[in-house]
Amino acid sequence: MRKLVLENISKVYGEGDGKVTALDRVSLEVQAGEFIGVVGPSGSGKSTFLSVAGALLSPSSGTILLNGQDITKLSSKELTKVRLKQIGFVFQSSNLVPYLNVRDQLLFVSRLAGSIEKEAEQRAQELLSSLDMVSRQFNYPNQLSGGQRQRVAIARAFMNNPQLILADEPTASLDSKHGRAVAEMLAREVRERGKAAIMVTHDDRVLDLCDRIVTIRDGKLYE
């Protein structure tokens, strides 16, 4: 089953002599249970690619199908719902809310999506248990290590049971041991629950966990 399909996606900024092509007719299919790594030099278009795939940026041309739905035709309000309920984001910086404890970081996401509170609380406990963070659930971000903060960020990304997970350099700020653990968590969620995931990374230490590796160079994608 295809979770994500990008067909001839281009992203162009500016006009005339000032025109910059960030993505140039990029196509990619991601199946359920597939973990794809994206590599390439800085400035090659990797982050733009991830933002377009996650409906944070609209493409200049092309089609994006998420679970069979063409999301390029949706309104801004509809795209917000798609991002909340169908896509989980993990960034290089954990981006945790400083005044929320670990448990509330997860429940906040569910409240935004309108989930039932009891079910959300149960889901939060299951995720914190699976990531060995139950003992830290009432701690705040400044009381956690970098690896712990990134585990909370992953739990938050998984909270609404998204079908697509997008990770932008999730191991960049972590040491080898914790970086590997974070990438393994992502891979396990993808394979055990039949999700699809794309991870942009410069970290060669975790590429062996990916099913496929694609390269973006000068806005073009190569497999």
Domain ranges of the chain: 2-96+159-222
Q: pLDDT tens digits, residue range 155-169?
A: 898 888 889 999 998
Read off the pLDDT band of 176 (50, 70, 90): confident
- 2-13 and 61-66 strand pairing: antiparallel
Q: pLDDT tens digits, residue range 81-107?
A: 899 889 999 887 788 999 999 999 999
14 has pLDDT over 80: yes
Residue 157, classified by CB atoms within 10 Å of its CB into exposed (0-12), middle (13-18) or buried (19+), is buried
Q: What percent of the chain has pLDDT over 90?
A: 52
Q: Which runs of consecutive H residues, i.e. helices, occur in 23-101? A: 46-53, 76-86
Please, are residues 41 and 57 in contact by the beta-carbon 8 Å criterion? no
Which CATH number fits the domain 2-96+159-222, given the four candidates 3.40.50.10310, 3.40.50.300, 2.40.40.20, 3.40.50.2300?
3.40.50.300
Rounded Cα gap, residues 26 and 8, in angstroms? 5
Q: What percent of the chain has pLDDT over 70?
A: 99
pLDDT at position 17 is: 77
11 has pLDDT over 90: yes
Per-residue b or e along 199-208, where b marks 16 or more CB atoms closer than 10 Å to that residue's CB: bbbebeebee
pTM of the model: 0.88
Question: How far out from the chain centre does Cα 112 lie?
Answer: 18
DSSP code for 152: H
Q: pLDDT tens digits, residue range 117-140?
A: 888 889 899 888 888 889 999 999
pLDDT higher for 202 or 35? 35
pLDDT higher for 117 or 80? 80
Half-sphere exposure (Cβ direction) of 91: Cα atoms closer than 13 Å: 7
